[in-house]
Amino acid sequence: MKILPLKGTCDYLPREVALRDYLQGTILSVYRAAGYERISTPAIEDIENIDKSEGGDNLNLIFKILKRGEKLEEALSDGSALCDMGLRYDLTLPLSRYYANNRQNLLTPAKCIQTDRVWRAERPQKGRLREFVQCDIDILGSASPTCEVDLIVTTAKALRAVGMEDFTVHINDRGLLTGLLAALGVPAEATDGVCITLDKLDKIGIDGVRRELGERLSDEGVIEKLCALMADGPVTLDAAAAYLADKAPAENLRWIMDTVAAVTDGGVPLVFDLTLIRGQGYYTGPVFEVRSREFRGAIAGGGRYDRLIGKFLGENVPAVGFSIGFERICAILRDRGFTPPTRRRRVALLYYPDQMVVAARAAEELRETCDVSLIEKTGKVGKLIGRIEAYGFDAFAEVTAEGITVKELGQ
Amino acid sequence: MKILPLKGTCDYLPREVALRDYLQGTILSVYRAAGYERISTPAIEDIENIDKSEGGDNLNLIFKILKRGEKLEEALSDGSALCDMGLRYDLTLPLSRYYANNRQNLLTPAKCIQTDRVWRAERPQKGRLREFVQCDIDILGSASPTCEVDLIVTTAKALRAVGMEDFTVHINDRGLLTGLLAALGVPAEATDGVCITLDKLDKIGIDGVRRELGERLSDEGVIEKLCALMADGPVTLDAAAAYLADKAPAENLRWIMDTVAAVTDGGVPLVFDLTLIRGQGYYTGPVFEVRSREFRGAIAGGGRYDRLIGKFLGENVPAVGFSIGFERICAILRDRGFTPPTRRRRVALLYYPDQMVVAARAAEELRETCDVSLIEKTGKVGKLIGRIEAYGFDAFAEVTAEGITVKELGQ
């Protein structure tokens, strides 16, 4: 049998889990203090729900679960779908279904926390996981831009709480971007593709963008207008707004940016970024992303998805969320050599089997203040103590004629 | 799209997650105090690992993940296996692989905690989940019966910590049982089937057992001997030992039972139970199960599996574990109407959008001591306050000309 975990999945050692638990706990306490509540959804979802979710490229990355028993036999003989379920690729789709199912038991707007695993069938490669954790907060049932402010301020606070300082929040609006593209002459049916290309500006440069636009658009004039807009360096919100007949999305973004700045005394660096798109097809308004100089790519991302819950309910419910890429935070802190503050003193209590009753009773008393591991003496005791010290115990104790003796380690 | 979670899976509301988090946290702190450390393994495993794991009936309940891309096309055209991965059905198989993969970075014996989800494709029915949480502790790398004592004492303490009082730990030994069956004339190849039948004594009664044994064994004399042994009420450890040429398993059980009693001053009710088998094929020695009058069936179970890690390493590594059926504990406490001790005061701070900056700054100060949810005033404010009170907030605050006023709720 194979001893390695599946490619793109991880075994976490005790000290890695301690770091992960500490980071997740810290993020959770910031979220909870801000009035968000933890909810939980299943890891598996109906495959139809996933297929219809407008998850963009992620829909190509679904782990699908084979039908079972008679239904599998039927599918194999009649050529119908082999799968009936899939592993969730994000926490937003299950949350939308959850809200549709449970809204009568939630306060509206609902402020939800999810910190949980998701799965994507990425091509295995270094740093790209197929199973990973996301830490999401969402506000469901309100169209007010106060939600965006609340999410941005709270997410920034959570990132600070885990030691992220050097980050910038990029913000854009889907409606603003599509309005601008229409004003520049991009046909409606080419909008999505053009957005994908513009989003690659920092990866492929303006020449790469021009080349790709050439494959998507026939009108050279439109391509040149797009490239002129992008080539001049970052487009300001005012410059973008100048193209728009409907100023509402730009004014909304301005209000969000100004309010975040006022609430935090400018403590959250926030930039308008016309090339920010985010891959998911379900976003409808403001989208945001946190970038850090310590990591290539985003460490958090989110946006407004006012039409996703409507796919379940038949009536639209506005919603917006912000997700921290937990694995990226872990990677940054691991690279820094960060170790979480120790929780309690760790003591190894060594004993011979015939001393177990005395040892176990003594351990139970010490557990008022310490974590105490009962460790049977086998082999050479000196070597055992060496292994215990190397493993990071703070002290070891032994059963002696005088009772329990405790000796410090690692001093 | 479908709004219900898949059959056999659950959406958990905030108050349910609060209960689950509290119970898991309480169990975890008992485990940690006893020197166990949390580790984490992937939810998905290589399908070959699962298929070869001797998981008993659970192997019929695997959620299998379809191959992707070219490999799926190949499989569909050449008839090879459609699946390459599966969702874990328990935490013991991944742990065994984990130990094989990571033992050089662990202390031996390793004391591991896993609290995590597992999946089984059970036929959907009330109270039988397809996705559920187990809380396991395991000791890997030691054959000493001190491990069984440590696990039993620690699991009993964890159960007490979450309010379970009225339980009994049943204990048996696979080797003792198979030795006894051999002594009574049961052929080796019929042993497993006979064990399964004997395990059903409390479900199908002695007549049911006799009937099923008739299908498994040809020798009426053997069947009568078995029924005579079982019919007389519980078989004592001494009575069982009398049949055995090799007394070691019985003496080992006796030592475990006596030591648990001595360590806990008889505080853990422990009974020898010859009919206790546990479904998993991988158990090799002592097996145990916790039963409570508050729940039909076991609330925890475990045993020794000295040959499972060997399937990965080629050399056997002794191991033993104890798993709390977390969902059953949750169900019992939910039925009791238990609510976890509240963590922090919860305040709703109500504001109009143009007051957001003042409100958000005030909220941030209150968050030193309270969880504060910023809630925008929409609709009738009286009704909003009613909903907030019904939802369980301890107080609400408002932005007024005099500053922030706080009023208690639910008094």
Cα(A154)–Cα(A109) distance, integer angstroms: 16
CA angle in degrees (0–180, nearest 5) for B271-B274-B277: 105
> What are the chain B neighbours of A313 within 8 Å (beta carbons)?
3
Kindly state whether residues A386 and A322 are assigned to the same domain: no
Helix (H) or strand (E) holding A112: strand A110-119
A220 lies in some domain: no
Kindly state whether residues A283 and A377 are assigned to the same domain: no
pLDDT of the residue at A293: 86
A221 lies in some domain: no
Q: Taking 80 as the threshold, does the pLDDT of residue B202 lie above it?
A: no
Q: How many structural domains does chain B have?
A: 2
**Among the listed residues A118, A166, A158, the one whose alpha carbon sits nearest the alpha carbon of residue A137:** A158
> What are the chain B neighbours of A409 within 8 Å (beta carbons)?
none
At A278, the pLDDT band (50, 70, 90 cuts) reads confident
Q: Worst-scoring range by mean pLDDT, A273-282, B97-106, B166-175, B288-297?
A: A273-282
Q: Chain A contact for B263, CB < 8 A?
A: yes
Give me the sign of the Cα torsion angle A226, A231, A236, A239: negative
| Residue B142 CB contacts under 8 Å (≥ 6 apart), including other chains | A376, A378, B108, B109, B318
> What are the chain A neighbours of B367 within 8 Å (beta carbons)?
33-34
What single letter denotes the amino acid at residue A369?
Answer: T
Q: Which tokens belong to A103?
A: 């809204």
Kindly state whether residues A329 and A350 are assigned to the same domain: no
Kindly state whether residues B50 and B74 are assigned to the same domain: yes
* CB–CB contact A35 B372 (8 Å): yes
State chain B's mean pLDDT as an integer.
Answer: 93
Kindly state whether residues B107 and B165 are assigned to the same domain: yes
Cα(A351)–Cα(A375) distance, integer angstroms: 6
At B27, the pLDDT band (50, 70, 90 cuts) reads very high
B161 lies in some domain: yes
The domain that holds B307 is classified in CATH as 3.30.930.10
B314-371 per-position pLDDT tens digit: 999 999 999 999 999 999 999 999 999 877 999 999 999 999 999 999 999 999 999 9
At A343, the pLDDT band (50, 70, 90 cuts) reads confident
pLDDT of the residue at B205: 87
Kindly state whether residues A107 and A26 are assigned to the same domain: yes
Helix runs in B292-370, H state only = 310-313, 326-335, 356-366
Cα-trace Rg, chain B = 27
**Among the listed residues B108, B160, B162, B168, the one whose alpha carbon sits nearest the alpha carbon of residue B139:** B108
How many Cα atoms are found within 13 Å in the side-chain-facing hemisphere of A11? 20
Single out the residue in B291, B311, B335 at which a domain terminates: B335
At A267, the pLDDT band (50, 70, 90 cuts) reads very high
Q: Chain B contact for A85, CB < 8 A?
A: yes
B264 lies in some domain: no
What single letter denotes the amino acid at residue B163?
Answer: G
Kindly state whether residues B101 and B28 are assigned to the same domain: yes
How do the residues of chain B divide into helix, strand and coil, expressed in percent and rounded to 5?
45, 25, 35
Q: Taking 90 as the threshold, does the pLDDT of residue A315 lie above it?
A: yes
pLDDT of the residue at A346: 96
Percent of chain B predicted with pLDDT > 90:
80
The domain that holds A367 is classified in CATH as 3.40.120
| Residue A364 CB contacts under 8 Å (≥ 6 apart), including other chains | none
A362-408 per-position pLDDT tens digit: 999 999 999 999 999 998 999 999 999 999 999 999 999 889 999 99
* CB-neighbour burial class of residue A5 (10 A; exposed 0-12, middle 13-18, buried 19+): buried
Helix (H) or strand (E) holding B171: strand B167-173
Query: Locate tokens 């920010």: which residue?
Result: A276
Percent of chain A predicted with pLDDT > 90:
80
Kindly state whether residues B120 and B147 are assigned to the same domain: yes
Q: Taking 80 as the threshold, does the pLDDT of residue B183 lie above it?
A: yes
**Among the listed residues B145, B40, B375, B270, the one whose alpha carbon sits nearest the alpha carbon of residue A109:** B375
The ipTM value here is 0.93
* CB–CB contact B2 A149 (8 Å): no
A155-169 per-position pLDDT tens digit: 999 999 999 999 999
Q: How far is A236 from chain B (nearest CA, A)?
A: 25
> What are the chain B neighbours of A343 within 8 Å (beta carbons)?
32
Give the A window 176-205 contacts with B, CB below 8 Å.
none
> What are the chain B neighbours of A19 within 8 Å (beta carbons)?
none
Q: Chain B contact for A43, CB < 8 A?
A: yes
* CB–CB contact B3 A97 (8 Å): yes
B228-241 per-position pLDDT tens digit: 888 777 789 999 99
CA angle in degrees (0–180, nearest 5) for A208-A209-A210: 90
Residue B68 phi/psi, 5-degree rounding, is: -125, 155
> What are the chain B neighbours of A44 within 8 Å (beta carbons)?
6, 9, 63, 87, 119, 130-131
**Among the listed residues A128, A143, A105, A188, the one whose alpha carbon sits nearest the alpha carbon of residue A328:** A128
Q: Taking 80 as the threshold, does the pLDDT of residue B281 lie above it?
A: no
B315 lies in some domain: yes
Q: Which residues form the domain of B106?
A: 14-173+276-335
User: Looking at the partner chain, which of B5, B48, B63 has a beta carbon nearest the beta carbon of A65?
Assistant: B63
Give the B window 345-404 contacts with A, CB below 8 Å.
346, 348, 353, 356-357, 360-361, 363, 367, 370-376, 378, 387-388, 391
Per DSSP, the three-state class of A79 is coil
Q: Are A176 and A277 in contact (CB under 8 A)?
A: no
Q: Are A404 and A349 in contact (CB under 8 A)?
A: yes
The larger pLDDT score, comparing residue B92 to residue A56, is at B92
Report CA-CA distances (Å) from A373 to A103, A366, B145, B288.
Answer: 46, 10, 16, 22
Give the B window 95-124 contacts with A, CB below 8 Å.
97-98, 100-102, 105-109, 111-112, 117, 119, 121
Mean pLDDT of A42-47: 97
At B55, the pLDDT band (50, 70, 90 cuts) reads confident
Give the B window 285-344 contacts with A, CB below 8 Å.
311-313, 343-344
Per DSSP, the three-state class of B15 is helix
> What are the chain A neighbours of B150 within 8 Å (beta carbons)?
360, 374
**Among the listed residues B134, B129, B135, B136, the one whose alpha carbon sits nearest the alpha carbon of residue B11:** B129
Q: Are A252 and A241 in contact (CB under 8 A)?
A: no
Percent of chain A predicted with pLDDT > 70:
100
Kindly state whether residues B369 and B321 are assigned to the same domain: no
* CB–CB contact B360 A153 (8 Å): yes
**Among the listed residues B36, B18, B13, B194, the one whose alpha carbon sits nearest the alpha carbon of residue B114:** B36
> What are the chain A neighbours of B313 within 8 Å (beta carbons)?
3
Kindly state whether residues A271 and A351 are assigned to the same domain: no
B248 lies in some domain: no
Residue A38 phi/psi, 5-degree rounding, is: -75, 135
Single out the residue in A285, A309, A335 at which a domain terminates: A335
Q: Which tokens belong to B334?
A: 């939910």
Single out the residue in A335, A363, A383 at which a domain terminates: A335
| Residue A10 CB contacts under 8 Å (≥ 6 apart), including other chains | A129, A131, B40, B42
> Going along B13-130, which residue ranges are E strands?
37-38, 44-46, 64-66, 83-87, 110-119
Kindly state whether residues A283 and A153 are assigned to the same domain: yes
Report CA-CA distances (Å) from A320 to A21, A109, A149, A177, B205.
Answer: 26, 11, 11, 18, 58
B235-261 per-position pLDDT tens digit: 899 999 999 989 999 999 999 999 999
Q: Chain B contact for A40, CB < 8 A?
A: yes
Query: Locate tokens 């709703």: which residue?
Result: B348
Note the pTM of the prediction, 2 decimals. Answer: 0.93
B300 lies in some domain: yes
A371 lies in some domain: yes
Q: Chain A contact for B86, CB < 8 A?
A: no
Kindly state whether residues A280 and A354 are assigned to the same domain: no
Residue B138 phi/psi, 5-degree rounding, is: -140, 150
